[in-house]
Amino acid sequence: MKGFYHRNEDGSIARSEGIHSPTYSLTEGNKEETFDGWKWFDTAEAAYSFFAAGDVVEITKLTLMNRLVALGKWGAFKGLLTQLPSDAQDAWDLALSIRSDDPIFVSYAPTIKAALDLDDETFSGLLAP
């Protein structure tokens, strides 16, 4: 999903269609510019890869399951997995762990967040080391 992305102090990634302050405004029309850490990306995958560079987090699937159970979201996540395309299902089945920079994980992150009703901070917390 195209837009401006920013890495927050806690490591979560925020997205916005435009950035507006009293003295400056970023829109798609001036997307080559940056402001206060906000940078334009044409895809979420590119943004997450950019901000994860040198800071890749990897957790086991069991850790992810335990965190989703604690949030009461494990059942919904299992249901979501059955609805995703076969590449995502196969990746989940064959993986031993989840990496924050994995292209399949990054590409389905918005779908996961929406289906599980997770905000950016909670979603980022799922991948905390």
Look at residue 82 in the predicted model and tell me its pLDDT.
Answer: 94
Look at residue 52 in the predicted model and tell me its pLDDT.
Answer: 67
Query: Out of 21-25, 49-53, 92-96, 122-126, which region has the weakest mean confidence (pLDDT)?
Result: 49-53
**In the predicted structure, residue 10 carries a pLDDT above the cut 60:** yes
d(CA 118, CA 124): 9
Q: Which residues contact 100 (CB under 8 A, 6 or more apart)?
A: 48, 52, 56, 57, 58, 106, 127
Look at residue 70 in the predicted model and tell me its pLDDT.
Answer: 95
The residue ranges of DSSP E strands in 11-128, in sequence order, are 13-16, 19-20, 25-26, 39-41, 58-60, 97-99
3-class DSSP state for residue 35? strand
Segment 96-109 mean pLDDT: 83
pTM (two decimals):
0.58
- Whether residue 63 contacts residue 54, with contact meaning beta carbons closer than 8 Å, is answered with no
d(CA 33, CA 118): 30
The residue ranges of DSSP E strands in 1-47, in sequence order, are 3-7, 13-16, 19-20, 25-26, 39-41
Q: What is the pLDDT of residues 15-72, one digit of tens each?
A: 888 888 888 788 888 777 777 778 888 887 777 777 765 567 788 999 999 999 999 9
d(CA 95, CA 89): 10
Average pLDDT, the chain: 84
**In the predicted structure, residue 9 carries a pLDDT above the cut 80:** no
Percent of residues, the chain, with pLDDT higher than 90: 30
3-7 and 13-16 beta bridge pairing: antiparallel
Look at residue 54 in the predicted model and tell me its pLDDT.
Answer: 52
